[in-house]
């Protein structure tokens, strides 16, 4: 499946096929037809290793890892739409957060086009499980981790983290292959005091919250604590997020401070 240019976005790679491609074939087709140029209908194509095979309801897709930043942008916009509508409505605070992110990471023209894309995506039903799995097949874990981290921040932009948003993010995390340890850590850093495992009493103490930030339980060994800290410190190292934009880099710095503070608290309690 191929699309014409969406102004300044190049030919898409892996997002031109699979569940993301099926959705974009509707949304981008309408968008480009109405605002830029007529796009021909989707077609079965086979071009080297970056091919998509379609066969009606029994479609199968050969996902590859030959995409570009444009592919990640399109996939991210789809998930942004799903998260924004998780609680039944799109709140202005969430939309403002997305606008700020786009304006800091894209040109003014690109940001406008992506907001138009988001508007049209908000009118579509989104199978987040299938789309998240497609993203998993085509991106590295660290990329998915930071993508999910961004989505979690978005869900709390209105100051409220609802049960429906939690359910949506858990579905996305499962599809993306985000580990439970990382889910707990992200949850604790962006929604402090609220995470609890099934059957676990709510955690309100600073020390228990520190363990949650590292994605651990208080019963973790000293070695597990050290490994968890090192693993998270690497994820939020400036070199790891440099290519993801200024906003992500600034966010990573803030998260690194929270992770370090949690680790220092645990170290002090354990005399490490």
Neighbour tally for 59: CB within 10 Å: 15
> Structural domain of residue 267, as residue ranges?
192-197+205-272
**Is residue 149 domain-resident?**
no
The kind and range of the H/E element at 53 are strand 52-53
Mean local confidence (pLDDT), 235-258: 72
Q: Report the CATH number at residue 263.
A: 1.10.287.110
The pLDDT of residue 99: 93
What is the bridge-based pairing of β-strands 52-53 and 60-61?
antiparallel
Query: For residue 212, which of 192, 231, 198, 227 has the smallest C-alpha distance?
Result: 192
Domain count, the chain: 1
Q: Please, are residues 6 and 31 in contact by the beta-carbon 8 Å criterion?
A: yes
Q: For 57-66, 168-177, 188-197, 243-252, which range has the lowest pLDDT when averaged over its residues?
A: 57-66
Mean local confidence (pLDDT), 77-87: 94
The pLDDT of residue 50: 36
Can you give the pTM of this predicted structure? 0.68
**Is residue 227 domain-resident?**
yes
Mean local confidence (pLDDT), 176-187: 91
**Is residue 7 domain-resident?**
no
15 has pLDDT over 90 = no
**Is residue 257 domain-resident?**
yes
214 has pLDDT over 70 = yes
Residue 256 banded pLDDT, cuts 50, 70, 90: confident
Torsion angle (degrees, nearest 10) of CA 18, 24, 25, 26: 130
Q: What is the residue whose two structure tokens read 């942008």?
A: 73
**Is residue 6 domain-resident?**
no
**Is residue 172 domain-resident?**
no
The pLDDT of residue 192: 58
Proportion of the chain above pLDDT 90, given as a percent = 24
**Is residue 265 domain-resident?**
yes
3-state helix, strand, coil in the chain (%, to 5): 60, 5, 35
Q: Please, are residues 2 and 44 in contact by the beta-carbon 8 Å criterion?
A: no
**Is residue 24 domain-resident?**
no
The pLDDT of residue 65: 42
């Amino acid at each position: 499946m191929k699309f014409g240019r969406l102004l300044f976005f190049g030919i898409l790679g892996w997002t031109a096929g699979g569940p993301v491609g099926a959705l974009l074939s509707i949304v981008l087709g309408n968008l480009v037809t109405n605002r830029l140029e007529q796009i021909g209908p989707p077609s079965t194509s086979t071009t080297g290793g970056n091919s998509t095979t379609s066969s009606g309801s029994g479609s199968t897709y050969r996902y590859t890892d030959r995409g570009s930043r444009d592919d990640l942008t399109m996939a991210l916009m789809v998930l942004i739409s799903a998260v924004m509508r998780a609680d039944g409505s799109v709140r202005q605070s969430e939309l403002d957060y997305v606008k700020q992110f786009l304006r800091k990471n894209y040109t003014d023209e690109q940001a406008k086009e992506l907001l138009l894309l988001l508007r049209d995506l908000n009118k579509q039903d989104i199978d987040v499980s299938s789309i998240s799995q497609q993203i998993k097949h085509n991106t590295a874990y660290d990329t998915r981790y930071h993508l999910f981290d961004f989505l979690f921040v978005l869900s709390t932009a209105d100051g409220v983290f609802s049960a429906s948003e939690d359910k949506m993010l858990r579905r996305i995390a499962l599809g993306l292959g985000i580990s439970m340890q990382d889910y707990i850590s992200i949850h604790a850093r962006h929604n402090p005091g609220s995470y609890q495992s099934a059957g676990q009493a709510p955690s309100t103490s600073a020390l228990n919250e520190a363990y949650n930030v590292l994605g651990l339980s208080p019963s973790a060994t000293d070695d597990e604590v050290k490994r968890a800290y090192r693993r998270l410190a690497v994820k939020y190292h400036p070199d790891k997020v440099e290519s993801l934009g200024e906003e992500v880099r600034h966010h990573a710095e803030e998260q690194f401070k929270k992770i370090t503070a949690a680790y220092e608290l645990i170290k002090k309690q354990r005399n490490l």
